[in-house]
Structure 1
């Protein structure tokens, strides 16, 4: 799952900005998306490196290490605001790249399983669908005049609920047919939730820029950009994983 934390937000609906502020915002958002894209590329590199080391891959897939990584991801998500806004730009970079690397380690067994079963095409399909969904919902968040600030509590609680639902499904549902149905339902809800989350986060990132551009420093803007990439990356990778799971389940039903 992606991070669960309280995000710094502020109302931006109907805000009037100068031409300079608009130009600065576009540059800021472009930098945020570039950081995110580099993070996705970094995750892909980690996955490929692990797939080239079967022994390490097996240890991650079958051992307790995956739970350690899962806990580390949740911890990074929870403490992200402190790491990004109470420290230095170097610390913000370190937290972001560690987050991307941990996701690469966590999802590598899943990617390897699809490749081993000759379903590599589904990986590409899932990535394309996730990218298209992300682009559409992020554009909505960037352009909408509706203030989404009040959605923070609901989105955080829904994310926690889904984490609990996945853990319950993993540990307590043993019937294969029931497990598949529950997995499909959870993944569908996750994709829907994180589509909304992407729009919410994009608007929050705009708000952070407007606040920091008014009375912040260049360093604060830099950390805000990296933090924005951190949020958007988490939502994108979560959508990708669960879209891939949906495609895999649908493919197994058709065979």
Structure 2
């Protein structure tokens, strides 16, 4: 099913009633799954950061770290591509596994920044994310036009980040961080509105619709993580 082509107006009265009942269920699942992924990622990162043997195994061996990064990217792309073929249980397990791997790779921030600044930036991120998600959810303004602009800006950030790997410019790194904050603040509002509209059009709370909610949670989770990392790059206190 192409979820974006669903039309609420074409549903029968009974289907519309099912849809209205399904909406709060699906939206709740979106935010519960997103929060679950953040908790798992945070706990995984903290556990690795406080286990010297794991830190040494992962970050002293570039092959292990590269393998984790590749596995992380492959898993999220595979989950997105295969979601219609997977059961809800399988998709949820893959989602949890991705959250764990992401936490393992993100444990490196504890080597770079102080724990206090990581905590404070996390709460700043949560407040910013919450405000923009609420804006996207409640605004009557159509944010569709934001999508293309934000995607092009994100592509520019990715290209600039790759270039800076070889250039190593601190100025460019700071510019990328500020641009990243702007882009992911915008994406949070855009994705929040898009997800709301998708859930409003869901005909029921069937397994296929719950898988849509799971993928929506993944989208918001990635918005939060990227916003957090860019804010940390700007506001975080580095270890001496």
TM-score range relative to shorter protein: 0.7 to 0.9
| Corresponding position: 1:48 with 2:43 | no
Correspondences of 1:55-70 after superposition (within 5 Å)? 55-62=53-60, 63-70=62-69
Following superposition, the deviation at residue 229 of structure 1 comes to: 0.9
Moved more, 31-40 or 199-208: 199-208
- Greater shift in the superposed pair: 195-204 or 84-93: 84-93
Cα distance between partner residues in 1 of 2:87 and 2:18:
27
1:197 Cα shift? 0.8
Q: What residue is the counterpart of 2:109 in the other structure?
A: 110
Unmatched runs of 5 consecutive residues or more in structure 2: 8-12
| Cα distance in 1, alignment partners of residues 209 and 233 from structure 2 | 36
In structure 1, what is the equivalent of residue 235 of structure 2?
247
Normalised TM-score (structure 2)? 0.83
Taking the TM superposition and a 5 Å limit, the aligned residue runs for 1:84-95 are 84-95=83-94
Q: CA RMSD in A?
A: 2.8
Shift of 1:221: 1.8
Which SS does the other structure have where 1:86 is aligned?
coil
Alignment-derived partner of residue 187 in structure 1: 177
- Cα deviation digits, residues 145-192 of structure 1 (max 9, x gap): 23333443433333232222212212222xxxxx32222211111111
* 8 A contact 2:129–2:224 mirrored in 1: yes
Question: 1:3 aligns to what?
Answer: none
Question: Which of residues 28, 35, 38 is equivalent to 2:36?
Answer: 38
1:137–1:198 contact (8 Å) kept in structure 2: yes
CA shift in 2, pair 1:69/1:191, >3 Å:
farther
Alpha-carbon distance in structure 2 between the residues aligned to 1:44 and 1:237: 10
* Structure 2 match to 1:145: 140
Confirm or deny that 1:232 pairs with 2:220: yes
| More displaced stretch, 203-212 vs 22-31 | 22-31
Report if aligned partners of 1:47, 1:104 keep a CA contact under 8 Å in 2: yes
* 2: CA distance, partners of 1:69 / 1:140: 35
User: Kindly tell me: are residues 140 and 188 of structure 1, through their superposed partners in 2, closer, same or farther at Cα, counting changes over 3 Å?
Assistant: same
- 2:131 paired residue among 131, 136, 146: 136
Q: How many angstroms does 1:8 deviate by?
A: 5.8
Deviation at 1:71? 3.3
Partners of 1:157 and 1:8 lie apart in 2 by 23
Q: 1:75 to 1:151 in 2, by over 3 A?
A: farther
**Deviating more after overlay: 55-64 vs 122-131:** 55-64
What is the alpha-carbon distance in structure 2 between the residues aligned to residue 158 and residue 64 of structure 1?
A: 31
Equivalent residue for 2:211? 223
Contiguous gaps of at least 5 residues in structure 1: 1-6, 174-178
Match of 1:172 among 163, 167, 172: 167
In the alignment, the residues of structure 1 paired with residue 190 and residue 96 of structure 2 have an alpha-carbon distance, to the nearest angstrom, of 23
Q: What's the TM-score once normalised by structure 1's chain length? A: 0.78
